Structure 1
Amino acid sequence: MTAELPADTLALRHHRPFLAFWFARVFTTGGFQMLSVAIGWQIYALTGSALDLGLVGLVQFLPRVLLVLVTGDVADRFDRRRVLGVSLLVQAAVAFWLAAGSAGLSVSRELIFFLAAVIGTARSFDMPTMQALLPNVVPSKLLAPAIAAAASATEAATIIAPALGGFLYAAGAPVAYGVGTVVYLIAAVLVLNISARPQTPRDEKMTLDSLFAGVRFIKSRPDILGAISLDLFAVLLGGATALLPVYARDILHTGPWGLGLLRSAPALGALAMSAWLIRHPIRRRVGRVMFAAVGVFGVATVVFGVSTSFWLSMVSLVVLGASDMVSVVIRASFVQLETPDAMRGRVGSVNSLFIGASNQLGEFESGATAALMGTVPAVVAGGLGTLAVVAIWMRLFPSLARRDRLSGPE
C-alpha cells in the first residue's frame, strides 16, 4: 500500500519537522476547543445568560481586530517558533488559572471575560504566525499537500476535542481546565522544538509604514486580494451554522444528538477532503477549481436550506465542508507561495482577520436575516448570494479565474 502513495505524501510522512508541526497544530486546536467548551458551560452555569455566551466570543475576537497589524509584524520580525511558544504558554497559564480558581470556587463572570480576552489576545498571534511558519518547515514543492495535512489536523481536533472537553467537564471544571493546561504545554514544547529554515531577517524599526506593508502588498496583488475577499464574502453570506439549533429542533425535528451530528458534519467533510488532497494535490487549473468549489459550497447551502430530511441535511453539510476545504487549501497554498518570507506574517495577519470576520459576522448575518425573513429564506438567500459572489468575482478578478498553477519561488 505504501508504494502506491504519491511521492509528496511519502515525503511528508517521513518529514520529522512537519510531523512535529502537525501534532503541535492538533494540540493547539484541541486545547482551545476544550477550553471553549468548559468556559461556555461555566459562564452559562454562573449567569444563565445566552448574551454572556455571545460576549465571550466577542471579547476573544476584538483583540484580533485591534492587533491585526501588530501580530503580523511580530511574526515577521521575531523567531516564529518562539512567538507561537509564548502564545501557547500564555494560554496554558490561563487554563491553569481557571483550574485553580474553579477548585477554589473563586471564578466569577468578570474573571472569565477577562481571561477570555487574554486568550483572544494570545490567539491573535497564533494563526498568522503558524501560517507563516509552515513554509519554513517544508520545501515549496510540498507546501500544498502540507497545507492540506495541516488542515486535517485542525479538523480532527475540532471533531474530537469538544466532546472530550464536555466529558472532562462532567468530572469537574478543574479536571477539564487541568487537562487543557497539559495539552497547551505539550503544544508549546512541540512548537519550540520544530526544526525550521531561518526566516528572512528584518532589522528595520517597527513603524507605521512597516505595519501597513501587508495591506499594501495584498492590494498590489490582484490574485491574492481576490482569493481572500472571495472567501470573506462567500462565507459571510453562505454561513448557516449559527442556525443549526433552529433547523435541528423546528425543521428537522431532532434532538440534541441530531444537533451534535449536524455540527460535526462540515468538519467530517473537510477532514475527508483534506485526506484526499494530501494524496492528490491540485496542480493545474487551480483558479477554476477554487471558484467551482465555492460554487458547490453555495449550492450545498441552498440544498441544506430547503431540506426537511435529516440525512439529506447531513449530506449537504458534509459536501459544504469538503468544498470549503478545497477552496481553503488552494487559497492558502498560492498566497503563501506568492508572498515573500519577510512578508508572510503581515499578510497572514490580514488574512486571518478576513477569516475571523467572515465567520463571526457570518453568524451575525445569518441570525439577523433569519429574524427578518425567516430561517429557510435566510439560508437559501445566503447560498444564492454565494453563487452571485462567485460570478461577480470571476469578472472582477479574471487572472485569478484563469490561474493554472500554484506558482512561486523555490
Structure 2
Amino acid sequence: MSNDALFPSDNVLWRQPGLVGCLAGRTLSAFSSQVLAVAVGWQIYALTHSAASLGFAGLAQFLPMMLLTLPAGHVADQFNRRRIVMICQMIETIAAFTAAIASWQHMIGPLALYALVALYGACRAFEMPAQQTFLPAIVPTSVFPRAAALSSSLFQVACIAGPSLGGVLYGFGADTCYALCSAGFLMAAVSTASIELRFPTRQRQPITLESVLGGIAFLRRQKTMLGAISLDLFAVLLGGATALLPVYADDILHAGPIALGLLRAGPAVGAMLMAFAMTRWPIRRNAGQAMFLSVAVFGVATIVFGLSRSVALSIIALMVLGAADVISVMVRGSLVQLGTPDGMRGRVSAVNMLFIGSSNQLGEFESGMLAACVGAESAVVIGGVGTLIVTLLWMRLFPGLRDLDRLDDITPGE
C-alpha cells in the first residue's frame, strides 16, 4: 500500500527532510529498549529467582532518570541535540553488545545487569528530552499533529513487537536479545545521524539552579500547558489498572498466561489503532474538549474493566483505554512542543518526561497499595471514578485548556 493511500491529503508530510530519519531513530530506539527490558527481566529472575530483584532492576533504571532528567533538559537547550542523542545511542549500543558477549560467556551476574539498566536509564534521561525537540524542528506547524500521530503509532508498534520478539528470542539465550538490542541502537544512531536539523543560534548559559528549573518556571506561567500535563498525570496516577493485570488474569478472570498477554497487549493495540486513525484524521477543532472527553472515556473504560468478568470485555475495555489515552497524549504533546520556544524545549520536555515517569511509577504503586487494602476490583473502580472527578475539576480550574480550539494555531509562549 502506498503512502498516498494511507495519507491521501498529506504528501507534504513525507516531503519533509529528516522526517524518515527522525521516525526511524525513535522507533528503533524504542523497540530495542523493549527487547532489553524483557531480556534483563528474564535473566535477573533466572539468576536470582527473586521478585524483589525485579523491583531493584526497575529502581536501578528509574533513579538515574529521575535525578538526571532536569539537568539533561538544560544540556539539550545548550548543546547540539542531534549529537547528544547519537552519543547516548552509541553508548547504549556498546553496553548492549558488552552484555551480549558477557552473557554468551556466562560471565554476567545480577550486579552487572543492575549496572546495565542504570547506565541505560542515565542515557535515556539525556536522549529523550533532546529527541523530543526534533519533530517540531522538522515539520511545519500545519502538519505537526499528523506527524506526531504517526510517530506515536510507530512507537506503539515498537511497544507491541519489542516484548513479543524479545520473549521469543530469549529462548535462544539472553545474548541473542542483547545482540539484537545492540544492532537496533546502532541503526537508531545511524538514522539520527541522517537528520538535518536547523536550530536558532543559542547563547550558552552556565548550569545554575535557575536554568535547570527553567522548564518548571515556564510551565507555571503557561496555565493551559500546565493543565494538560497535570490532567494527564492525575489520570494515569488514578487509573493505573494495568498494574493489576496479573491479579485480574489469575484471580478474577480465572484465565491463563495467554490471556494475561492479551490483556497486556490491549492498551497498546488500542493506542496504535487510534494513533493511525489520527494520522489520517487529525483533531482539527475543539482540541481542548477532545482532550477532556478522552480522559473521561479513559475513566469509564477503567471502571468497565474493573467490573468485567469476561476476558473479551476486559480486552475491549483496555483497548478503549489505550485509544483514549492517545488522544490526550496528542493534545498534550502538541501543546508542549508547539507552545514552547525552541530555546526552552529541552527543559520543558524534561519536565513533561518527569511528570509522565512519575505518574506511571506512582500509579502502579498507588494501585498496588489500594488493592492490598480494599481489593483489586474496588481499587480499579475507585481509580476510574477518581479520574472522572479530576476531569470535571480540571475543566473548571483550567478554562483555557477547555476552550483550546485548533492545535495548528498554537504559538510559543513567553
Q: Fold conserved (TM > 0.5)? A: yes
In structure 2, relative to structure 1, the CA distance for the partners of 1:200 and 1:248 (3 Å cut) is: farther
Q: Which residue of 2 aligns with 1:355?
A: 356
Q: Is the 8 A contact 2:39 2:174 kept in 1?
A: yes
Using the size of structure 2 for normalisation, the TM-score is 0.96
Point out the more displaced range, 245-254 or 265-274.
245-254
Q: Which residue of 2 aligns with 1:142?
A: 143
Residues 1:239 and 2:246 are matched in the alignment: no
CA distance in 1, matches of 2:242, 2:291: 22
CA distance in 2, matches of 1:190, 1:384: 44
Point out the more displaced range, 119-128 or 310-319.
119-128
| 1:9 CA displacement | 2.8
Q: Which residue of 1 aligns with 2:276?
A: 275
Residues 1:157 and 2:158 are matched in the alignment: yes
| 1:199 CA displacement | 4.2
Using the size of structure 1 for normalisation, the TM-score is 0.97
In structure 2, relative to structure 1, the CA distance for the partners of 1:30 and 1:283 (3 Å cut) is: same
Partner SS, residue 355 of structure 2: helix
Q: Which residue of 1 aligns with 2:26?
A: 25
| 1:7 CA displacement | 6.3
User: Which amino acid letter does the alignment assign opposite residue 195 of structure 2?
Assistant: I
Q: Is the 8 A contact 2:68 2:125 kept in 1?
A: yes
In structure 2, relative to structure 1, the CA distance for the partners of 1:227 and 1:8 (3 Å cut) is: farther
Q: Is the 8 A contact 1:135 1:143 kept in 2?
A: yes
| 1:370 CA displacement | 0.5
> What pairs with 1:200-239 in structure 2 (closer than 5 Å)?
200-239=201-240
Partner SS, residue 107 of structure 1: coil
Residues 1:365 and 2:369 are matched in the alignment: no
Q: Which residue of 2 aligns with 1:51?
A: 52
| Cα deviation 1:8-65 (Å, max 9, x = unaligned) | 6322234341111111111000110011100000000010111111111111111122
Q: Which residue of 2 aligns with 1:384?
A: 385
Q: Is the 8 A contact 1:73 1:210 kept in 2?
A: yes
Q: Which residue of 1 aligns with 2:296?
A: 295
Residues 1:324 and 2:294 are matched in the alignment: no
Point out the more displaced range, 241-250 or 299-308.
241-250
Q: Is the 8 A contact 1:8 1:142 kept in 2?
A: no
Q: Which residue of 1 aligns with 2:410?
A: 408
Partner SS, residue 67 of structure 1: helix
**Residue segments in structure 2 that go unaligned for 5+ positions in a row:** none
Residues 1:117 and 2:121 are matched in the alignment: no
CA distance in 2, matches of 1:147, 1:289: 16
For these two proteins, the number of residue pairs brought into alignment is 410
Partner SS, residue 308 of structure 1: coil
CA distance in 2, matches of 1:409, 1:287: 15
Point out the more displaced range, 190-199 or 243-252.
190-199
CA distance in 1, matches of 2:215, 2:85: 20
Q: Which residue of 1 aligns with 2:94?
A: 93
Partner SS, residue 279 of structure 2: helix
CA distance in 2, matches of 1:3, 1:217: 40
Q: Which residue of 1 aligns with 2:192?
A: 191
CA distance in 2, matches of 1:294, 1:162: 27
Q: Which residue of 1 aligns with 2:105?
A: 104
CA distance in 1, matches of 2:309, 2:201: 54
Q: Is the 8 A contact 2:4 2:10 kept in 1?
A: no
Q: Which residue of 2 aligns with 1:259?
A: 260
User: Which amino acid letter does the alignment assign opposite residue 362 of structure 1?
Assistant: G
Point out the more displaced range, 325-334 or 1-10.
1-10
| Cα deviation 1:137-171 (Å, max 9, x = unaligned) | 11121211111111111100011111111111111
CA distance in 2, matches of 1:350, 1:8: 34
Partner SS, residue 228 of structure 1: helix
Q: Is the 8 A contact 2:16 2:138 kept in 1?
A: no
